[in-house]
A and B are shown apart, each in its own frame.
Chain A
């Protein structure tokens, strides 16, 4: 019952995180929240339609991503993903707390924008994945 092909691979995850890490830099480049009043371009119904459309689009993307997860659902890949996610959450929490400290804001560091926080999350998840991929997962 020899099988020449194999279902699981972490190659797609390697590519995904290699792509996500540079993307996070663009998120970091997102400036501080802008207080300038932006005049509404679209009416509320058009905005609602855009919101629904965007939600459906992201749902399709998430479905595709979940399909990728299922293909990589073997324990080795899953453990790396989960461990890296824990690293990402902890790193994001600490970074946010430190970045948001008023003493730093008084020194001229602007408060982090939502894009920058997501950048921290994505970069730390990618970094965590890379670390576990290179170092390994030892129980």
Chain B
């Protein structure tokens, strides 16, 4: 699953550790999400959406083409 987490974080000039603190997860978890090694749970995805004031689908792309 692709995501724009790294871009959104960079726009706010936050470090991975800073974002991790805001999301209450580990820095490694943020890194794993950004590098596509880990898909966050729905509650965490909502938390990310709320933090960046954007809907989940604007941040995460499940590459589903609808067919």
Contacts and interface: CB of A to CB of B under 8 A. Distances in A.
Contacts, number: 65
B17 to A, nearest CB: 6
24 contacts: A2-B21, A2-B22, A4-B18, A5-B21, A6-B20, A7-B24, A8-B20, A8-B26, A8-B29, A9-B26, A72-B26, A74-B26, A75-B25, A76-B25, A76-B32, A77-B26, A77-B28, A77-B29, A79-B38, A135-B37, A137-B32, A137-B37, A137-B38, A139-B39
B35 interface: yes
Contact of B22 (A3, A72, A137, A138): A3
Interface of A: 2-11, 72, 74-77, 79, 135-139
Contacts of A3: 18, 21-22
A70 B13 CA distance: 30
A12 to B, nearest CB: 10
Given A75-B44, A76-B29, A76-B32, A6 B17 contact: yes
A102 B20 CA distance: 53
A3 to B, nearest CB: 4
Q: Which of the four size classes fits the interface of chain B?
A: 20 to 34
A136 B37 CA distance: 4
Interface in B9-36: 17-18, 20-22, 24-29, 32, 35-36
A8 B38 contact: no
Nearest to A139: B39
Contacts of A79: 38
Contact of A76 (B17, B18, B22, B28): B28
A60 to B, nearest CB: 26
A2 B22 CA distance: 6
Contacts of B22: 2-3
B27 A6 contact: yes
B53 interface: no
A8 B18 contact: no
